[in-house]
Structure formats: structure tokens, C-alpha cells
Amino acid sequence: MIQITDKSKCCGCNACGDVCTHKAITFKTDIEGFWYPEVDKNKCTDCGLCEKVCPNLHSEELKKNDFEIPVCYAAIHKNIEVRFDSTSGGAFTALAEYVYKQGGYVGGAVYNEDWSVSQFLSADKTDLPRLRSSKYLQSRFDGFYIAVREALKTGKPVLVCGGPCQMAALRGFLHKTYDNLILVDYICRGIASPLLFRKYIEYLENKHHSKVVYFKAKNKELGWRKHTFKILFENRDVEYQTLENNPWRILNYVVPEVCRPSCFECPFKGFPRATDITIGDLWADKKYIPKELDNDLGTSVVFVHSKKGADLIQNIKMLKKQDFPLDKAIAGNYHLMKPLCHSSHDRDAFYAILNESLDACIKKYLPHFGKKGVSVKEKLKNVARFLFSVKKASGWSLGTWEKNFRYNFFCGQVKGNVLEGKFFIINKYCTIVLESKAQLILNAPFYFGSKRVKGSRLDSRLLIENGGRMEIKYEPYSVAYGADIEVFRNATLEIGGGLGANIGLTIICADNISIGRHTGCGRNVTIRDNNGEHFISIRGYKISSPVTIKEHVWLTESCTVMPGAVIEPGAIISARSVVSGHIPASERRSRRGGGEKYSLEGLDKKYLIYGIKRFYWQICFPIRRGRSCYF
């Protein structure tokens, strides 16, 4: 009979519940959000099956395998869309696709409606988007072991991916080896509390006053190494959290006690493994990763432990792989070999505060979270960055050096601080006009007139009139040479930063233009919220209307964004388009992270129609009526 007296000896695999034919075992969740078996002694016959399938009691015999030392690969999926949607390089998807093609079953973790996680067995390849990507939570296996056993009886191949302890539990539950079963585990640091994740979701929903409808860990839009979480809300808000501004991720490292007690004494680290294949992120030194497998879109590391796993890997055509040094792979994945270590924090005290709210936890354990204090060391680095940037922008032009120092230290219109890394870098051949009551507000570096072709004399111009305000809000922003940015009287131009604009950017702001974070511009892009002080005799016509371009938008070459345009997150505006009105986001997904992905195919036609209509009503129609028209 299973009796949990020491929680560090129970990994919560649920195998004992599935093996009990008398339904004597149920699972109850404790104050930390983890579940543990509880035996109904009135139903228990003391048959001992629950103890026989417990992976923690039989770890040594379960870890036996064909290869004592695994074969190691660096690998990526050949389909770039799969890589974008995967946590690392798409190795799991390649394995799953192969099994689906054989008419088999694939098992993995999926989100539920309440953002808890359950193990799911699928015979339908349309379920793959739900199964793909790490969930970073422990999945409930209730009933899953029985489902796998029944699927194996069909003789069709069955691929199951889960944590090392869960896959060892499955191996113990089945009692025997099945030729049609492929077991895959992932490199596991430790399983974070489901309670903590639920509190994190509540924290996000309170912050945005809206329900979370989509959640993606390790979103690739900012690059794989940024560890970005992307969250979509019911009210169309979008939030991207990198390592620096994600309290859930930071707490995982500052307070490792957020993980299950058994993770600190995990017997399933190292080699050999209980599985055929182990997958994970290839966190090796970049110089060792083949360039063709690493463009910051994610690279998988694959460890093969059995002959069955080796045959499978060789048969998968969609997986591009190369041999990789085992020692280098292990060096970048410490938790492949070693369990978690405790910190000095009191576990009971942490969960008592967490049950109040995540805000209380942040205040207690992350006192500097969200605060932008700058250390003396960082101030010196910022000064060095400023001087290096001026040297790169100016060469030895004394006039440009003088201009950079004047605008950064002696100009009241520029609100920045070099010591805090908020500086304005002006290249040669730039004309800057800031009228007496203008404001250029810098919360991050602003590079203006950046040149790729050295020696070019192409002019760049920045004008901010009295009462006008331009702000770089969050991250560095770079504008290439040939730019013309004009902020008229009492107008506001806000730029989130994070990317930049290529050669020939034109921004004409007479009212309000807002450009979100990580929005980039190709060559010769024009953004304007007005048509000048010129009127057209059309009912409802306005000379200006605010422009809103949200996060992660890409404006391609020579496109024009017209007054009143609203472009939702992630949209891609095609080359030479004329954009007005509302442009929807590039993708929408179901609540559980799967669902349809709407392609951008057909949007070019939509933008073309916008352009034709605009051209007709503002140029052709007035000319036919004998009226003047201007842009």
C-alpha cells in the first residue's frame, strides 16, 4: 500500500492510481498545488500493485537501456513554421509526424481550459499544435497509462513524451517491453507548482483587466535566446515577457522551492535513461553549434539511448541533424545530470505568501522587480557605450562630436540620461531642429542617421516643433540615413523601440502616431497621420487622424501608412502597399494554444484595394470634379 510520509519520495506520476483495479487511490492537491495519492483503506486489498509501479521505488531497474552512453545530435525541423512554433528546434514534431504517418498514436501534454495541464493521447495529426511546445508544468496522467496500454494492443506505433519520472512510471506500469512503443523524455530542471502558474495567470489578467486566451513559452518573434513568453488577452492586448520582466521565470530561479519536493532528490538524472530518446534545448556555447542549425530560431539536442531510438532517428527525413559532442551538450544542460539544489528560502513561508497573491511574492522575494536602479558599474558601462557609439557615428568629425555632446548634456529639449543608458546618437550629415518648447524623451538609446555605407553624405532630418513631443519608450531604436521625421506643433510621436527603420524612413506627425515595440520598417517606408493643411470636398473628410501601429508589426519596403490606420500586433504589411483603416493581427489561436493559424495570404489584395480606393477618392474624384487635391 502506498503511504506518503515523505513528499520528496513521490513524483506525482499518477501510475499508482491507474494500476489500482479497485479504485482505492485518489489524488488530493496540497497547499502548494501538487497532488499526492491517498488510499481508501476500505477499498484497498493490499495487493501491492501500486508499490510495484512506483518509479521512485524501482528507479535503478527502470533506467537500464541499450546504450550506457547515448549518441548525441544537434537537430532542427526542416519546416521553418514548425521551428517557430516549437520550444527548441522542433525535434518532437518530427518524431510525432513520423508516427502519425504510420497510423500511430502520439501522447504529450496539453493545456486545459483553466490553464492546467493534462497528458493526452492522440491518433489525429491535427492535435499536433496542441501537443507541441513545452508547458513547464506537471501534467496529470490520470487514465493515461491505461489508454497507452490499450493503444499498444492495436499493434500500431505509439510515441509518448513526458518527464523522466513519468516515462519511467509508464515503463513500470506496462511491465514488459513493446516493440511498437517509443518513449521520449525531455531535459527537466524541475516541475514548478501549478498553483504558482495559476497565480501568474491571475496576475496577468488583473494587469490587463482581461482573460488570457493564448499563452506561448519561448515565443520566437524576438529570437529563441530571449526566452520570450507571448500572452494574448480577450481584449486584444498583447504582452511579450523576456527573462528580465517575467516574474514567473525569475521566481523559478530565485526560489527553486517553487518546484515539487521530489525534484530535489530526482533519481532519473544522468545516464542511462528509462527512455529511447531524450530531447531538449541545445544550450551549448554558440561556437560549437553548426551555423546551419543555429539562426536563433531554436536548436534541439537529441540523445539516443536505445537501438529502437537510433533506428527511428535515422528514418525521419524532416529532421536535419549533425553529430554533436556529448560533453559540450551536457555542459550547457546542467540539469540533465544533476537535480535541483535548495536555496536558503523557507518553503512553507513562500507558499503561505503565494496563497495570498503573486504580487505579495514579488514584493517579498523580488524587491527590485520592475525597478530601474542603475549601479555604478552599469553607469560606467553606459558612458563607455555612449562614447563608443559617438565614435562609430562621427569618426573624427569634431562638429559631430560637439553636436552629440550638446544634445545629450546641454539641450533642455532632450530628456535623457547618459549614465542610465538613455542617450541620443547623431551621425554625420544629420540636421536636428528642436524648437524651444519641443521635447525628445529618451527611455532608451536613440540612434539617428545610422549609416551602413561609410562615407555616404545622404542627409537625415529631425524636426520637432513647439509643443511637439517624441518619445522612445522602452528599448533602443535605430533610424538609418535618409530619414525625414517631422513632429508638428502639439503633436505626439511615440516609438516602443526594440527594432528600427531602414534607409529612407518618412514620418509626418501632426496629431498622434504610436509605434509599438519590436516593430520594424524596411526601405522607404512612409507613416503619416495627416494630409497637410489641405482640404478635399468630401463629407466626413479630416486632414489628420491618429495612427496606431502595435507590437511586432513589419512594414516592408515602400509601404505607406495613411491617417487613421490601426495595425494590430504581428501583421506584415506587404511592399508598396497603401494602408488605411483597421488591419487585423497576423494570427489568432484557440484558448489552449492550438487552433487555426490564419496565413497572410490574400492580405496583399486587401491592401491593394485600400490603396485604389484612397487614390480614387483623394485624387481621381477631385480631379473629375475640378477640385484641387494634395498630399
Dump pLDDT digits (tens) for 246-304.
Answer: 999 999 999 999 999 999 999 999 999 999 999 999 999 888 998 899 989 999 999 99
Q: Report residue 167 as a C-alpha cell.
A: 516515462
**What is the amino acid identity at position 213?**
V
pLDDT reported for residue 625: 44
Give the closest residue to 167 by CA, choosing from 53, 262, 264, 91. 53
pLDDT reported for residue 395: 82
pLDDT reported for residue 418: 95
Helices (H), 119-234: 128-131, 144-152, 164-174, 194-208
pLDDT reported for residue 540: 57
pLDDT reported for residue 243: 85
pLDDT reported for residue 479: 97
- Range 113-119 contact pairs with CB under 8 angstroms and sequence separation of 24 or more: 113/591, 113/592, 114/198, 115/197, 115/198, 115/201, 115/212, 115/215, 116/140, 116/194, 116/198, 117/194, 118/142, 119/144, 119/162, 119/166
pLDDT tens column, 325-338: 999 999 999 899 99
Q: What is the mean pLDDT of each run of 10 residues along the chain (631 residues)?
A: 88 96 94 95 93 94 94 96 95 98 97 95 96 93 97 97 97 95 97 95 96 93 89 90 91 96 96 96 91 92 97 96 95 93 96 94 90 82 94 88 95 94 94 96 95 88 97 95 96 94 96 94 95 64 85 94 92 92 65 33 45 50 43 33
E-strand stretches of 392-499: 414-415, 424-426, 430-434, 439-442, 446-450, 460-464, 469-472, 477-480, 484-487, 492-495
What number of other Cβ atoms are within 10 A of residue 428's Cβ?
20
pLDDT reported for residue 535: 61
**What is the amino acid identity at position 402?**
E
pLDDT reported for residue 204: 96
C-alpha span between 211 and 593 (Å, rounded): 14
SS (H, E, C) 242-289: CHHHCHHHHHHHHCHHHECHHHHHCCCCCCCCCCCEEEEECCCCHHHC
Give the closest residue to 617 by CA, choosing from 546, 558, 537. 537
Rg (CA), the chain: 29
Kindly tell me the number of DSSP H helices and DSSP E strands found in the chain.
18, 35
Q: What backbone torsions phi and psi does residue 152 show, to the nearest 5 degrees?
A: -65, -30
pLDDT reported for residue 602: 39
Q: Is 617 helix (H, G, I), strand (E, B) or coil?
A: helix
β-bridge mates for residue 565, sequence order: none
